[in-house]
Amino acid sequence: MDPGAQIYASACSTCHQPNGAGVRGAVPPLGDPAFSDPTVLVAIILRGVEGPVRVGRVTYDGAMPGFSGVLTDAEIAQVASHVSRAWGDGGAPIDSAVVARARAKAAGAGPWKGGQAMAGLSPALAPQPAWTGPAPWAADPAVLTLINEGRGEALACSGCHGPQGQGGDPIPRLSGLPSAYIAAQLDAFASGRRSNDQMSGVARALSPAERQALGDYYGRQSAPSTATPSLGGDRQAGARLALQGDWSRDIPACFACHGPSGFGGGPRLPALAAQQPAYTAAQLAAWASGKRTGDPGNLMGDVARRLSEADRLALADYLAGLPSNPAAARKDRR
């Protein structure tokens, strides 16, 4: 398979769909002439977009992750060329030097804030809607103190999980996980239903309200991914399991429950994308062995028991190579 098509299948297709048609009312289709300019394509793939964008006659108000942290210049050139060839103007292949220049320009810029912010990239994009942004939210100073300084047994979260909860293998990423999920895990550590020497002590030292407040905080973060595939897993095999599952072994697609692209499937179904790989693999093993329990109806335990060691490594590395959930701060619509 063409390398650009392969990257598209594993990193883009869950939202934009295998045929580029998008999802009605949610994810724009590819191939709109205004977005086919290589400069526009590359700029969007690198930085991602947050907020309203007009594509054709439809305005989409969503969030797309930037891929600058998870794809190389050559890979972005390959996938952009694939998109252009498959649905765009089919012009000359995009050179990785073009991507390198755009990357230098985009350094540290974060996602495009709505269509208007990127309208200067090409005259064909106008008119574009303005970005209004989410309602301002400020973390409770007491929560920030807990995170950054800790309090006795309640060690500072940032010491291990990083200042924005990005994690550092094998310490898990917390940034952008569902608030209710984080709070529930802290409750489980406190009660002993989930076991981890370090976390049990921390969680017991926190009040239930503090656990909830920490969940609220991390649920609103959208730190860029710091995960790197590092376990030697077969990422293509991982992509197949995540996207399609393996029904011959009764394994549903991970993303059927954890959401398209692994960005989460609801308050109790955490995001998987950009999770630290050794953590993911260890948790899958813990589910399989029965060391970790407490999932509703044993849903996760059942699936994990059908995964082999090679599957766990493949999945962990595939997920670690995905960008983080760009929409963590946005509320699930339903």
Partner 1 sequence: MPQPIETPQDGPGPASSPGRGLIRDLLIASAGGLAVLVVGLSAMSLGWIGDKGTDAPATPRAAREAAYFQPPPRSAIPDGPDGEAIRRGEALFMNTPANAAAFTGNSLSCVNCHLDGGRRANASPMWSAWGLYPMFRAKNGRINTMEDRIMGCFTFSMNAQASSSGGPPPAGHDIYRDLQAYMHYLATGAPSGVEMAGGGYPKVDLPSQGYDPRRGAGVYATNCALCHGEDGQGRTNANGQPVFPPLWGPQSYNWGAGMARINTAAAFIKTNMPLGQTGRLSDQEAWDVAAFINSHERPRDPRQTGTVQENARRNHTGGKTFYGKVVDGRLLGGGVR
Apex CA 92: angle with CA 90 and CA 98, to 5°?
120
Q: Which of 251, 274, 314, 320 binds partner 1 (CB under 8 A)?
A: 251
Q: Which of 66, 233, 265, 323 binds partner 1 (CB under 8 A)?
A: 265
Residue number, 125 or 328, with CB nearest to partner 1: 328
Question: Please, are residues 201 and 153 in contact by the beta-carbon 8 Å criterion?
Answer: yes
Copy the structure tokens of residue 202.
Answer: 């921390």
Q: Is position 289 an interface residue for partner 1 (rule: CB under 8 A)?
A: yes
The count of chain residues that interact with partner 1, using the rule CB under 8 A, is 56
Residue number, 97 or 256, with CB nearest to partner 1: 256
Residue number, 157 or 239, with CB nearest to partner 1: 239
| Burial class (CB within 10 angstroms; exposed 0-12, middle 13-18, buried 19+) of 182 | buried
Q: C-beta of 6: minimal distance to partner 1 in Å? A: 12
Residues 301-320 that bind partner 1 (CB under 8 A): 302-309, 311
Q: Which of 59, 158, 200, 298 binds partner 1 (CB under 8 A)?
A: 298
Q: How far apart are CA 84 and CA 36, in angstroms?
A: 6
Q: Would you say the C-alpha torsion 191, 213, 281, 231 has a positive or negative sign?
A: negative
Residue with tokens 């007009």: 54
Residue number, 24 or 141, with CB nearest to partner 1: 24
Residue number, 38 or 245, with CB nearest to partner 1: 245
Q: Per-residue string for binding with partner 1, 19-38, x by CB under 8 A? A: x-xxxxxxx-x---------
Strand partners, 50: 63, 113
Q: Is position 296 an interface residue for partner 1 (rule: CB under 8 A)?
A: yes
Residue number, 61 or 95, with CB nearest to partner 1: 61
Question: Please, are residues 327 and 62 in contact by the beta-carbon 8 Å criterion?
Answer: yes
For every residue of 166-183, DSSP letters joined together read --BTTBPP-TTS-HHHHH
Q: C-beta of 77: minimal distance to partner 1 in Å? A: 25
Residue number, 62 or 224, with CB nearest to partner 1: 62
Among 33-41, 141-149, 247-255, 272-280, the segment contacting partner 1 (CB under 8 A): 247-255
Copy the structure tokens of residue 250.
Answer: 């009764």
Residues 159-198 that bind partner 1 (CB under 8 A): none
Question: Please, are residues 202 and 153 in contact by the beta-carbon 8 Å criterion?
Answer: yes
Residue with tokens 């439809």: 58
Q: Is position 288 an interface residue for partner 1 (rule: CB under 8 A)?
A: yes
Report the interhelical angle of 38-47 vs 73-87 (nearest 10°): 130
Residue number, 22 or 88, with CB nearest to partner 1: 22
Among 105-113, 162-170, 185-193, 263-271, the segment contacting partner 1 (CB under 8 A): 263-271
**Alpha helices of the chain — where are they, by DSSP H?**
3-7, 13-16, 38-47, 73-87, 96-106, 114-118, 141-148, 157-161, 179-191, 197-204, 208-219, 235-244, 254-258, 277-289, 299-305, 309-320
Q: Is position 256 an interface residue for partner 1 (rule: CB under 8 A)?
A: yes
Q: Where on the chain is the footprint of partner 1 (CB under 8 A)?
A: 15, 17-19, 21-27, 29, 60, 62-63, 244-245, 247-252, 256-257, 259-260, 263-266, 268-269, 285, 288-290, 296-299, 302-309, 311, 327, 330-334
